[in-house]
Amino acid sequence: MISNLSQKFGRPTKGLYYVSISIIYLVFFLNFSNVSSQLYLVNFLTPLKYYSATEEPDSNWYMPDYDDSLWSQDTGSIGYGNFNQNVTIDEGTVSLYLRYRFNISDKSEVEKINLSCNFDDGYIAYLNGKEVLRINVVDSVKTPAFNDIAIRSHEMEIYPWPVLGYYFESPGMDSFLVDSTNVLALHVLNDTIGGSDLYCQANIYNITGMQYNMYSSAFRYKRQYMLDSTDFPLIIIDTDEHGIPYKNIRKKAFMGIIDNGPGNYNLPADSFNVYSGEISIEVRGESSSEFPKRSYRFETIYTVDTVEIDTNVALLGMPADDDWILFGPFHDKAQFRNKMINDLGRRLGSYQTRSRFCELIMNGEYLGLYRLSETIKRNANRVNIARLREEEITGIDVTGGYIMRLDKDVTNNVEIVYPKSDRIQPGQTEYIFSFLDTFMNVLYSNDFSDPDIGYRKYMSDTSLVDNLVINELTKNADAYLYSTYFYKDRADRDNRIKFGPLWDYDLAFGNSRFQQADLTEGWQFDVNTRVPVTRILQDVEFVEFFQDRWHELRLGMLHNDSLFALIDSMGNYIQEPRERNYEVWPVISEYLFFPNYISQTYEEEIQNIKDWLTDRVQWIDDNIDNIYYPVNIYTEFEDSKIPEYFGFEAYPNPFTDQLSIAITSSYSGDIEIKLLNLLGQSQLELSENISKGYNEIIIDKANNLPSGVYIMYITLDSEIAGIKKLVKR
């Protein structure tokens, strides 16, 4: 959890990090697109016929047998305005008609396709004369006129992620595909007559028989679904024409929330009766930000003379605040893992973020089941610790409160969440890291278990025990490693570190092979070691406390019957919206992020959770009373087991033949380097001994790796020291 890094603390430069990662994945997308010649039915090189409209075309222009020989021909993207370097149509064209031809020898062998268009501003798509998609075009007109306009603005996307497409599959797809020559026809509309830009570039991917890969443009898709009504709260968000780009880029938007109360339906056309106003919104998450179904962080605001001012608002029965999150579960196919963990943590007696299930429409597109949640922040209704003002840098004032976390973008460090990086003062940073250093020194001293001067003086054992119960019950892949929050109040209120709130349990309950989280046996704190649990378990009294708490809870809220009843109640409660969710995101039976199992149906997913949980709690029951870790005795002059600093860079990235790793460390010892592919399979492993200071390691064997994305793990004396994503060209 905590390392002696007070002199090295600094918030990472996230913008540069994310740009680098985005470029890495862009390279991967380009590599993946060349995997199979069967992937593309229509792509950037497919010839297209087009009519740059100045008057109405023939009424049957979209039919497959229409004679388009008098239309102009081009390939790739077509349009005018921003970013269109190959301008082929006149600026100010009212609308654009396109026709692509592609061949299918046997349509029965094409079971799944993804139709993806990068466009400005709206379009209707026809396959062999049948309308299959309508984006930003009014529903009431079957075939819009050439001088009709899109109902909302939409800019072509230039973000690193590929454009989301729309998914079609058999048997319904058989009605619009034919053997031999097929025709994709598009009517592309502008948002104004003579607008500043107009654009389209289309792809059709044949994804039949291919393994789902969320990092591939071919598999970034959704289905179009029109929501009539719901008895869940309905959130509607409208952005400007650019949408919401990749994470850490805030955008102003409008949000309305409809909730007509229990037993009443909410319709998209209803009046907004919970909230109606401005928000500032961005994509959130680490790994989850890369999923096609995204999650969002937003603030409720109002604007005065172009200045955005935060405003506290009570949403869906939760206490008023201005910071909120819209979670869109993607990897969690049950859709309720995080909600369930929050409820269990709350029953244990600690604050956990409140949330409400809801459904989301963004820019006219229904996006499925979401969860509106509180963020983790300091205030009386959330993490209730003392407020730390900027001028409070000495005495009792500087002792609290602080909220901290471990996560992916802080490597071997601790990130201070509160106070925020633009508010915290050097004296406050120095204090809290000095406190953490003292705690670690005491923990690795021979008096660590002393009730008066040992680790309990600096850490709440009750808080840690409940944290262990939840993390070991669920064998969460991220436990003790990522999304691990802890906080400290002011000394005159409570001077001890407390763990929580619980966060990010999408990979729990056997949902992933990552970090051995699929196994029902074994302790997760033996796998993920950033939190020094095993040192604390050398204290016999703490072990007994953990054992007693487990046995107590197994008689009540953690009894199999209680756990299964909670699982069933949550699955039943969200039945209708999660069924709609999987209409939009048809991935219930797909391979996602190192899965332990692949459920074919939602019911099978629930049964898999129950089966895994049955084996897991039985293993804990059988083994918890046998926990024993011999006490390590340290001499006065022995070096600390926790390095003061460890940092590394891998370059070049992307790499081709040779890969170099530059390591700077205040600690000498043995490191292990592993490269895993996106299936979690080890592709390269080596061990090295490093010395204090600067080290450089050259990996010549990297030239034997196939092209693709890799995840590099470096462990230092068996503890994870850093993780990076790499691309091999």
| Residue 35 pLDDT > 80 | no
User: For 329, how many CA atoms within 13 A lie in the half-sphere containing its CB?
Assistant: 29
- Short-list 244, 219, 325, 182, CA closest to 587: 219
In this structure, the number of other CB atoms found within 10 A of the CB of residue 430 comes to: 15
Same domain for 616 and 706? no
Look at residue 648 in the predicted model and tell me its pLDDT: 74
591 inside domain:
no
Look at residue 25 in the predicted model and tell me its pLDDT: 38
Look at residue 528 in the predicted model and tell me its pLDDT: 87
C-alpha distance from residue 59 to each of 65, 66, 104, 142 (Å): 12, 10, 26, 12
Same domain for 256 and 353? yes
| Residue 9 pLDDT > 60 | no
More confident residue, 581 or 692: 581
489 inside domain:
yes
Q: Of 155-169, 425-439, 487-501, which range is least confident?
A: 155-169
Same domain for 410 and 465? yes
Same domain for 92 and 170? yes
Last residue of a domain, one of 315, 347, 374: 374
Q: Of 152-161, 345-354, 563-572, 712-721, which range is least confident?
A: 712-721
Look at residue 27 in the predicted model and tell me its pLDDT: 38
pLDDT confidence bin for 160, thresholds 50/70/90 = low
293 inside domain:
yes
d(CA 430, CA 7): 8
pLDDT confidence bin for 643, thresholds 50/70/90 = very low
Q: Is the pTM of this model over 0.75?
A: yes
29 inside domain:
no
Strand order in the sheet with 402-406: 415-418, 402-406, 484-488, 497-499
Give the domain CATH number at 716: 2.60.40.2550
219 inside domain:
no
Residues 6+ apart with CB under 8 A from 561: none
Same domain for 45 and 71? yes
Look at residue 641 in the predicted model and tell me its pLDDT: 46
Look at residue 699 in the predicted model and tell me its pLDDT: 86
Last residue of a domain, one of 344, 374, 404: 374
Look at residue 83 in the predicted model and tell me its pLDDT: 57
| Residue 33 pLDDT > 70 | no
Work out the average pLDDT over 457-473.
Answer: 97
| Residue 102 pLDDT > 50 | yes
Domain range enclosing 335: 234-374
Work out the average pLDDT over 496-505.
Answer: 97
Look at residue 650 in the predicted model and tell me its pLDDT: 79
**What DSSP assignment string belongs to 199-212?**
EEEEEEEE-TTPPP
d(CA 101, CA 49): 9
| Residue 423 pLDDT > 90 | yes
- What is the tens place of the pLDDT at every residue in 391-422? 999 999 999 999 999 887 654 568 999 999 99
Same domain for 256 and 149? no
pLDDT confidence bin for 84, thresholds 50/70/90 = low
Same domain for 145 and 263? no
713 inside domain:
yes
| Residue 28 pLDDT > 60 | no
pLDDT confidence bin for 37, thresholds 50/70/90 = very low
Look at residue 713 in the predicted model and tell me its pLDDT: 82
Look at residue 246 in the predicted model and tell me its pLDDT: 77
Look at residue 717 in the predicted model and tell me its pLDDT: 73
200 inside domain:
yes
Same domain for 522 and 387? yes
Rg (CA), the chain: 28
Q: Which percentage of the chain shows pLDDT scores above 70?
A: 90
Last residue of a domain, one of 323, 356, 374: 374
| Residue 679 pLDDT > 80 | no
253 inside domain:
yes
| Residue 658 pLDDT > 70 | yes
d(CA 122, CA 133): 11
What is the β-pairing status of strands 719-728 and 708-716? antiparallel
Give the domain CATH number at 46: 2.60.120.260
Domains held by the chain: number:
4
Look at residue 290 in the predicted model and tell me its pLDDT: 83
Look at residue 623 in the predicted model and tell me its pLDDT: 98
Look at residue 22 in the predicted model and tell me its pLDDT: 38
Residues 6+ apart with CB under 8 A from 682: 674, 675, 676
Work out the average pLDDT over 585-596.
Answer: 88
User: For 438, how many CA atoms within 13 A lie in the half-sphere containing its CB?
Assistant: 15
Mean pLDDT of the chain: 88
d(CA 225, CA 584): 6
Same domain for 54 and 128? yes
- What is the tens place of the pLDDT at every residue in 268-301? 999 999 999 999 999 998 778 888 999 999 999 9
Q: Of 4-13, 26-35, 413-422, 432-441, which range is least confident?
A: 4-13
| Residue 324 pLDDT > 90 | yes
What is the β-pairing status of strands 78-80 and 198-206? antiparallel
Q: Are 341 and 502 in contact (CB under 8 A)?
A: yes
Q: Are 465 and 345 in contact (CB under 8 A)?
A: no
| Residue 5 pLDDT > 70 | no
**What DSSP assignment string belongs to 581-650?**
HHHHS--TTS--SS-S---SSHHHHHHHHHHHHHHHHHHHHHHGGG---PPP---TTPPPSS-S-EEEEE
Look at residue 31 in the predicted model and tell me its pLDDT: 39
Look at residue 32 in the predicted model and tell me its pLDDT: 40
| Residue 617 pLDDT > 50 | yes
Show the DSSP H helices in 12-133 as ranges.
14-32
| Residue 226 pLDDT > 60 | yes
Look at residue 289 in the predicted model and tell me its pLDDT: 84
Same domain for 479 and 607? yes
Work out the average pLDDT over 230-239.
Answer: 98
Same domain for 324 and 274? yes
Same domain for 389 and 452? yes
Look at residue 402 in the predicted model and tell me its pLDDT: 98
Look at residue 586 in the predicted model and tell me its pLDDT: 94
| Residue 6 pLDDT > 70 | no
- Short-list 286, 284, 496, 484, CA closest to 373: 284
More confident residue, 520 or 687: 520
